[in-house]
Amino acid sequence: MATITFKHTPFGDLALISMRGCENISEKVDYYLKQWRETPDGYSFVVPAVCPRFGTGEGKAVFNHTARGLDAYIICDCFNHGVTYKMYGQTVPMSPDDHYQDLKRVIASLGGKARRITVIMPMLYEGRQHRRSSRESLDCALALQELHSMGVSNIITFDAHDPRVQNAIPLGGFDNVMPTYQMIKALVKNVPDIVIDRDHAMIVSPDEGGMSRCIYFSSVLGLDLGMFYKRRNYSVIVNGRNPIEAHEFLGKDIAGKDLIIVDDMISSGESILDIAAKLKGKGANRIFVFTTFGLFVDGLEKFDEYYEKGLIDKIFTTNLIYSDPELLKREWYCNVDMSKYIAYLIDTLNYDNSISDLLNPVDRIKKLMDKHTAELKNK
């Protein structure tokens, strides 16, 4: 039976709307889109939207472009604390709540005239408040429902803390994208001598909640998998959570192996650093950390200390959220650029084509590993 090939035309005029703090990554995405579509000099897919503030901290959004018929892609980093505004004469860093409120203002400023609205929110707003375990709010589910009710057709996020939160909008579009290929590519580029096989490397999950992403890494790379589980003190709450009393390791012997710890985020980094120290104590060789989001809320000094002691070698995080300029200067840090991947997603979706191949990078990873193995043999 012959395969029918449909020639798609753009769903609408492509518009890239950058929220405050997303200017750099939006500029890079725009660069790739202009290259692929061979636009004339001076053209840009980025359309202006501003969110001015009054002296009281109140705000509004102003969209300085026609909205009618647009296929709009709004890029929003809710965790960019490097963006500030004035309130009662004081300089205030924008919180996730501030960013989210501005996102809703921009959607409202489109006035229902856009043909389709897609929100690209790399780190999901309130993603860690995704389930109810006592009498408490379900912030992430409420935010998704709110965006859906405002006319957002699809929400694209990366490495969601728990992608099952999409069940809050069963009739809405939700894509959870993983940066697996980009992380592996960055590793072989920055650590060209690494040997990725069962005898020399191993994947480690820092907790039971992150096992699914680690299973994927171990499967596509053909590596063994180890796991830590967190023993918490459930009788007390410190900084909104039950403190961790100890990390216990489950897995094969790791002596002499390079280890790759995979997680969705580094918040304070307390868990990752504790795990790295324990793995070194068990005879691990080099320790590399893959985390999609590097928040580093308690600063970088502890990471500097562990690097100087040889307890960590490299930490890889993406440029999907704001990175402190001081972080980018650290020898132990590698920034993984995701702008080209986002451009691929936008370019494909604008033509209403399937993004399934983009979401499943197995073939690309295998080609990368074959190339890396060949280069090691030729040295």
Q: Average the pLDDT over 224-249 and give the result.
A: 75
Contact 221, 184 (CB under 8 A): yes
**What is the enclosing helix (H) or strand (E) of 249?**
strand 244-250
User: Is 230 strand, coil or helix?
Assistant: strand
CA 287 vs. chain centroid, Å, equals 21
CA 191 vs. chain centroid, Å, equals 22
Q: Average the pLDDT over 88-116 and give the result.
A: 96
Average pLDDT, the chain: 92
* Cα 51 to Cα 100: distance, rounded to the nearest angstrom: 12
* Cα 120 to Cα 116: distance, rounded to the nearest angstrom: 13
Is residue 191 pLDDT above 90, yes or no?
yes
User: Is 60 strand, coil or helix?
Assistant: coil
257: DSSP letter: -
Looking at 94-108, 128-142, 223-237, 350-364, which range is the least confident one? 223-237
Q: Which residue has the tokens 């963006």?
A: 83
Sign of CA dihedral 107, 112, 114, 119: positive
The upper half-sphere exposure of residue 272, i.e. CA atoms within 13 Å in the direction of its Cβ, equals 29
Is residue 243 pLDDT above 80, yes or no?
no
What's the one-letter identity of residue 213? R
Angle at 332 between CA 344 and CA 296, to 5 degrees: 75
- Whole-structure pTM value: 0.91
Contact 217, 202 (CB under 8 A): no
Tokens of 318: 């993406």
Among 35, 11, 25, 24, CA closest to 348: 11
Angle at 141 between CA 68 and CA 145, to 5 degrees: 30
Q: Which residues contact 280 (CB under 8 A, 6 or more apart)?
A: 287, 310, 311
Tokens of 365: 């990873």
Banded pLDDT at 138 (limits 50, 70, 90): very high
pLDDT at 251: 83
pLDDT in tens, 323-335: 999 999 999 999 9
Is residue 246 pLDDT above 80, yes or no?
no
Is residue 368 pLDDT above 50, yes or no?
yes
> What is 272-309 written as a DSSP string?
HHHHHHHHHHTT---EEEEEEEE--TT-SHHHHHHHHT
* Cα 365 to Cα 155: distance, rounded to the nearest angstrom: 26
